[in-house]
């Protein structure tokens, strides 16, 4: 569990990053197209399941290295100041994208990619209903900002495995609540 309280070890990089065979909203074979093997396999199954229901998902952003997160965060700080930047961007070492187990998704048109207008779309509704069947959770649910530290992000899913995902979805809780580790919101 990575959040505003719990960080990854300095310089952490997963050893088993692969390119999942699913469409992305860009075509380059770059860092953000990668996920850890287990998550990538589950993602491929989830995309296939969505397609059967006529829902066309696309990847937006998966793995992000500490170096990339540092660069992004520093740019946000320059633009908005550190206090504001922390409300919407993770401090380096605290981004779930660095685990290689989280990915932002959208529809194949890339509309509302990682933006609040993704909420209520066919793709968002499908993910909310079915992600857990494939071992993913909506990591930052609506109304849970005081617990997760993040606003509602219907596009950001985190691989936790089918058992934990089913329990979290059934109980309507967050990963923090699941581990009985509700952090002080910062």
Interaction of residue 89 with Zn ion, rule CB under 5 A? no
Within 10 Å of residue 18's Cβ, how many Cβ atoms? Answer: 17
Nearer to Zn ion, 63 or 126 (CB): 63
Report residue 48: phi and psi, to 5°. Answer: -65, -40
Interaction of residue 156 with Zn ion, rule CB under 5 A? yes
Look up residue 13 and give its DSSP letter.
Answer: -
One residue of 32, 101, 104, 136 binding Zn ion per CB under 5 A: 104
Q: Which of 19-27, 31-39, 101-109, 166-174 is the region at the interface with Zn ion (rule: CB under 5 A)?
A: 101-109
Q: CA 46, CA 73: separation in Å to the nearest integer?
A: 30
Closest distance of CB 120 from Zn ion, Å:
18
Contact indicator for 22, 59 with CB cutoff of 8 Å: yes
Interaction of residue 176 with Zn ion, rule CB under 5 A? no
Closest distance of CB 97 from Zn ion, Å:
6
For the chain, helix (H) and strand (E) counts, in that order, are 7, 6
Q: Residue 173: in which H helix or E strand, if any? A: none
Closest distance of CB 126 from Zn ion, Å:
18
Q: Which of 11-19, 45-53, 71-79, 153-161 is the region at the interface with Zn ion (rule: CB under 5 A)?
A: 153-161
Positions marked active-site: 153
């Amino acid at each position: 569990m990575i959040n505003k309280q719990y960080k990854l070890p300095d310089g952490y990089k997963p050893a088993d990053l692969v390119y999942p065979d699913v469409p992305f909203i860009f075509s380059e074979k770059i860092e953000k197209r990668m996920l850890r093997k287990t998550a990538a396999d589950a993602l491929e199954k989830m995309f296939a399941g969505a397609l059967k229901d006529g829902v066309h998902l696309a990847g937006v952003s998966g793995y992000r290295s500490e170096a990339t997160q540092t660069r992004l965060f520093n740019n946000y700080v320059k633009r908005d100041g550190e206090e504001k930047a922390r409300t919407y961007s993770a401090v380096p070492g605290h981004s779930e994208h660095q685990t290689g187990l989280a990915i932002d998704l959208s529809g194949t048109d890339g509309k509302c990619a990682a933006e609040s207008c993704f909420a209520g779309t066919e793709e968002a509704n499908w993910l909310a209903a079915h992600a857990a069947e494939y071992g993913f959770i909506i990591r930052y649910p609506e109304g849970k900002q005081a617990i997760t530290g993040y606003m509602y992000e219907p596009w950001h899913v985190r691989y936790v495995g089918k058992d934990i995902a089913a329990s979290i979805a059934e109980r309507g809780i967050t990963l923090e609540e699941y581990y009985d580790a509700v952090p002080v919101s910062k």
